[in-house]
Structure 1
């Protein structure tokens, strides 16, 4: 005991900073590296694993000896000694002499961490799942007569990328796995009290919101409802006794309870999170030996005041609205998020953060945020965030997924690594002779984003970025550099295929923007044989793109988005049905009520350009938030017999068809009513679809000017009503015949 205590005091005093070590110039080489592994019985499986990696690396047999009686014999020792690390933040250490190497962990898990760090010190790498990189045998070395202590940048390190599904990749990079660590994960209110089972018979268990009971959330103060949730939680605890955490968190929605008792708590504690922590603390007190996690998300993004979490409660803050194009520490637009992180840490020392590291609407589209990873993680670490859940593409191999998951895996453990060095090392391994061009491409993406300095949203896409980092100018630059990369690895497997995946991302942008540009220079429609149509060569490119995506396992193009085959089907539908010829194409006019800036891509002409929009409301649609659309058309007594309208129904995004359409004509200095059509009442329907109506009148051709008033819904329908949300009216091509 005394010997260990003295050792700890001496080592900590000498090696107070992680990764600082005192060594002489002597190194173990592949030849002098000890060829014997000493391990007690509980570590024999680790010893076997180490033996396998070492034999492949040094091309020599390695012996395992069970039991450790003498620690001075030449060899590699696997040792678990918790007492060395008492009152210390360190997880494991390496200690070497002239003929021994000791891997010492404070526990079995930490010893496993030490094993994989030791392999990395020897030059082995796991850049991607299922594949270990071994260095040239002459490059293998390890310092003699040295001591080195290790601790992570974050205590909890979870990554949600394709590589995370591979157990060896997780173990190698010392990653946690939320799907195993949590007995109940994420948004869980509906798992604690099932709406299907209880809403009809006990609506009082659920949130009173905007004047009625809603199944999307729970009442935080109903005692009988709490008892039901408590029973559900007990059953979960019973069936998952080995789980580290249990999430008690709001559903993925804006609804929260506004009943008298909940509202009283929220006013008292200054935030809707007040009643949440009241509810959460009741559960935490009943189960003091279990660890609970709750999301700080949407309406609970700000901490309450005057109430404090139980010690077994962890806050998981989710800064979903944050700009991803600039690091949080330097972006003026992220001041709110910086303040929230500080406030949450002051409220609850047990602070985790759920960060969003990719674009969720368009997995393949370039998303220049990799340069922000390290600075963001440094800010989190410096401000006391203890754990991170970094959400990526889940199991979809999206844009630069291989690089993203590798870099984040490394930075989660040690956020002080040289990011450029890590990136270049990976690119050289993964892209071979093309690595310099890929590096230049990444720098170009960063330059384009920084030059525009536009907000980079995880729910944006290629169409929204046509005027900044995905403009025709930048797309041309990207095309040139990736062409050089392709030429550098032509016919060299697997490097060509890997560069070709980058090309797929640029192709995806081109196709999406081609839909948007329509008949313009970069549009999908060309004037061929006296008509607008899509060149066969372009459709062939789309078909080839889809086939490659399927081969790569890219089974959807966004969160809940098109599958490759659906994407191709949508393209064919647009190609065959997107052009509409009518009397109003290019007609002069203006609007009296301005549409929303973000849904006004082409100005007034976008309503009469002869092209139907796609299912994506960013392509071909013009939108009004809350207001009616009041439009003026100079029809000049054209022989118009009816007007056709298309309205989008996408209720998930608060987009609803119109309430009515009114058409007036201007004559003799006054407006005359021509026709009014009242549309059917909106019903709950989450299918994305276009609703067409025709307004017919024999008087449409009698006026020089027509005024069209498209009446928006007065408010969001009951089933989608959320505080602050307004109905969005989306209008496609207005067809005059």
Structure 2
């Protein structure tokens, strides 16, 4: 006991002396006179931090420093102290690294902070770098010396989450980059977001108590809850209580709207929303009542879409506002391109200091598409930091997406320190992760961002599609240039199989864009088929090879998903092959005039000629699909002369979470005079819409019949009605159609 007391007094004494002017030598020629001392009654986590320091010092120098506690220190040896003594009074997130009298102190105000301090020491002062799991850069030194250090840091963003499986599946890598191991730390696992339907499932309550749900245009729909119904409040509080009882260690639960804007407009709810100046009014009134029932817990709710604008009422102190930036244009910083969100952030800050940011960093409809928003990450995180957001959740794709490792790395680094130099981070990563190919990958990143910046009118949307950019930063000319850069990158590391694999994965975004450009038949080099001198179409071998390389690279890297709707890489490949087969079929309708009897809306420039232009639609409704909302689709194709036909095929798209459904049936008609039409056949949807329907899918409605002489072909696709159980119940559904093939 006397020895421990003496050691502590000695250590406290040296902590208040001035730093030595001479550098200290931890290891010299592979030998060391240092040992690692974990202070006090070190927790298991702090002991592991000390072990990690021991391991990396041995990796660097070959010297293994002994790991001891205070009671077993060796007299005459210098010390690296791990942990915090009470007299230092560090804040929970603070780290401090000091050299004094030939000793080193690595301290944190909590177990987590101590772990952060160890990795900060290794990175900042010993030049260790971690780019991805199993991709680290550790110096090899026979001698480790340090200049005097007096470093203290308190991260301004205290809960840092990057929604990437690189961190969730590799906790050590998460520690190295100082982010959380999971998306919702300390939350009740089954109640993290969009919880109304979990607390009050429509299957249980809707038929017997429709008044519990939202009133929309005179009808109760189970899209949201009626937040002024006292019974609803009672049931939700009971549900919250039950979940906290089931998860006693959880500190946070989400009481939040479902993922739609069909909120209640009954007189009582509307009165509050009008008075509060926002539909967030009823939400905060409701959530405050829940929060008062659980004063020792945190009740999280969303400021999202219709609730994003703050009301007048202040949230209770234990209400966590999760403010979401889903609508924003990602082509530039939020402060410039999404000023409404920036204003909402500032105004929520006037009501509460308890704000969690839910930001978005990828294109959710096309994980693998080029998405040049990387240079907005720093100004956006600075905006959140400057407005006192202590908890930031950056929703990356979770699954691999374009430049996955690069995005994960840079986002994590900036969350830890928003003041870091972005260009230095980018160069550090590209050179460290891609080795000799790094300058070419960096040139690609710089070039694609530069091209986007030249297009002031381009809206870079989280739910967009590469096809939107084929007249902008993904033009055929730019796709050629990006490909050349990646060819140079691959050549630079051709003898390094593991690094070459990383480069091939990095170029998947460009290859995907090239495949989609070919689907659109953008140019002679970007087309699905080639024509011989007799006009016979055959599959373009360059496209076939590109698809094969894309699919193989995905398989080698265990990349399985194309988007958040569950559309797989395997399905993409199969659909693309189907598109190639369709494209080479004889088609009497190709290039022929199309007249739309019902009016298309918004997509494909509302031009019915998209149905015969030879370009085929992809998995997103932006990709060459003609859309009809709230009506059946009815079009007529003029073949220009009488022709014998015996088959018709047409493609339709389904994206159920966006109210895009397959038609219930498609009927084909023929006519010689555009007045008298005879039915040629009707195809029913063999995959009726249910709650378990595949979210994202393409289906061909094929019909064969006896040869018939016609000039005009009419297509009528009957729209599926939005069912009452759908989260967009009460809104009209969409029909999306593409190329009609007639033979």
The equivalent of 2:563 in structure 1 is: 558
Q: CA deviation at 1:634?
A: 5.6
Contact 2:465 2:623 in 1 (8 A): no
**2:151 equivalent to 1:148:** yes
* Greater CA drift, 623-632 or 120-129: 623-632
Match of 2:461 among 457, 478, 485: 457
Cα distance in 1 between the residues matched to 2:523 and 2:105: 69
Matched residue SS, 2:161: strand
Cα distance in 2 between the residues matched to 1:66 and 1:610: 74
The equivalent of 1:730 in structure 2 is: 736
**2:263 equivalent to 1:266:** no
Cα distance in 2 between the residues matched to 1:83 and 1:288: 32
The equivalent of 2:439 in structure 1 is: 436
Match of 1:112 among 115, 120, 133: 115
Q: Which runs of 5+ in 1 are unaligned?
A: 15-20
Cα distance in 2 between the residues matched to 1:270 and 1:224: 25
The equivalent of 1:38 in structure 2 is: 37
Superposed CA RMSD in Å reads: 3.9
Q: CA deviation at 1:180?
A: 3.9
Match of 1:227 among 234, 244, 248: 234
Q: CA deviation at 1:149?
A: 1.4
Change (3 A) 1:588 1:262: closer
Q: CA deviation at 1:161?
A: 0.7
Match of 1:548 among 550, 553, 564: 553
* Greater CA drift, 173-182 or 471-480: 173-182
**2:411 equivalent to 1:414:** no
Q: CA deviation at 1:535?
A: 3.7
Cα distance in 2 between the residues matched to 1:711 and 1:530: 31
Matched residue SS, 1:448: helix
Contact 1:81 1:107 in 2 (8 A): no
Matched residue SS, 1:268: helix
Cα distance in 1 between the residues matched to 2:659 and 2:339: 28
Q: Which whole-Å deviations, capped at 9, do the CAs of 1:646-700 have from their partners, x for residues lacking one?
A: 4735343333539998999998xxx956569999899745554547488999999
**2:100 equivalent to 1:100:** no
**2:210 equivalent to 1:203:** yes
Contact 2:721 2:733 in 1 (8 A): yes
The equivalent of 1:379 in structure 2 is: 383
* Greater CA drift, 554-563 or 198-207: 198-207
Q: CA deviation at 1:194?
A: 3.1
Q: Which whole-Å deviations, capped at 9, do the CAs of 1:60-80 have from their partners, x for residues lacking one?
A: 121223127999973111232
Q: How does 1:115-130 map to 2 (within 5 A)?
A: 115-120=118-123, 121-130=125-134
Change (3 A) 1:104 1:639: closer
The equivalent of 1:516 in structure 2 is: 520
Contact 2:253 2:298 in 1 (8 A): yes
Q: CA deviation at 1:537?
A: 5.7
Q: How does 1:24-35 map to 2 (within 5 A)?
A: 24=21, 26=23, 28=25, 30-31=27-28, 35=34
Cα distance in 2 between the residues matched to 1:82 and 1:524: 70
Contact 1:658 1:729 in 2 (8 A): no
Contact 1:316 1:352 in 2 (8 A): yes
Q: Which whole-Å deviations, capped at 9, do the CAs of 1:683-722 have from their partners, x for residues lacking one?
A: 74555454748899999958xxx79696986986655585
Change (3 A) 1:451 1:494: same
Q: CA deviation at 1:386?
A: 1.8
Matched residue SS, 2:574: helix
Contact 2:26 2:34 in 1 (8 A): no
Cα distance in 2 between the residues matched to 1:466 and 1:391: 26
Matched residue SS, 2:560: coil
Cα distance in 1 between the residues matched to 2:707 and 2:53: 86
Matched residue SS, 1:577: helix
**2:77 equivalent to 1:77:** no
Match of 1:134 among 135, 138, 162: 138
Cα distance in 1 between the residues matched to 2:323 and 2:26: 46
Contact 1:328 1:334 in 2 (8 A): yes
Q: How does 1:83-482 map to 2 (within 5 A)?
A: 84-85=88-89, 91-120=94-123, 121-137=125-141, 140-144=144-148, 146-165=149-168, 166-176=170-180, 177-183=182-188, 184-305=191-312, 307-329=313-335, 331=336, 333-394=337-398, 396-453=399-456, 454-482=458-486
| Alignment: residue pair count | 710
Cα distance in 2 between the residues matched to 1:61 and 1:665: 88
Cα distance in 1 between the residues matched to 2:598 and 2:232: 47
* Greater CA drift, 487-496 or 67-76: 67-76
Q: CA deviation at 1:625?
A: 4.3
Contact 1:514 1:523 in 2 (8 A): yes
* Greater CA drift, 106-115 or 577-586: 577-586
Cα distance in 1 between the residues matched to 2:594 and 2:243: 62
The equivalent of 2:4 in structure 1 is: none
Change (3 A) 1:422 1:219: same
Matched residue SS, 2:80: strand
Q: Which whole-Å deviations, capped at 9, do the CAs of 1:447-479 have from their partners, x for residues lacking one?
A: 121122311111122222211111101101101
Change (3 A) 1:592 1:72: farther
The equivalent of 2:5 in structure 1 is: none
The equivalent of 1:17 in structure 2 is: none
Cα distance in 1 between the residues matched to 2:69 and 2:296: 37
The equivalent of 2:576 in structure 1 is: 571
The equivalent of 2:3 in structure 1 is: none
* Greater CA drift, 96-105 or 653-662: 653-662
Q: Which whole-Å deviations, capped at 9, do the CAs of 1:148-178 have from their partners, x for residues lacking one?
A: 2111130211111122111112222221233
Contact 1:35 1:61 in 2 (8 A): no
Matched residue SS, 1:95: strand
Contact 1:583 1:640 in 2 (8 A): no
Q: CA deviation at 1:317?
A: 0.6
Change (3 A) 1:364 1:93: same
* Greater CA drift, 109-118 or 635-644: 635-644
Q: CA deviation at 1:202?
A: 3.5
Contact 1:662 1:710 in 2 (8 A): yes
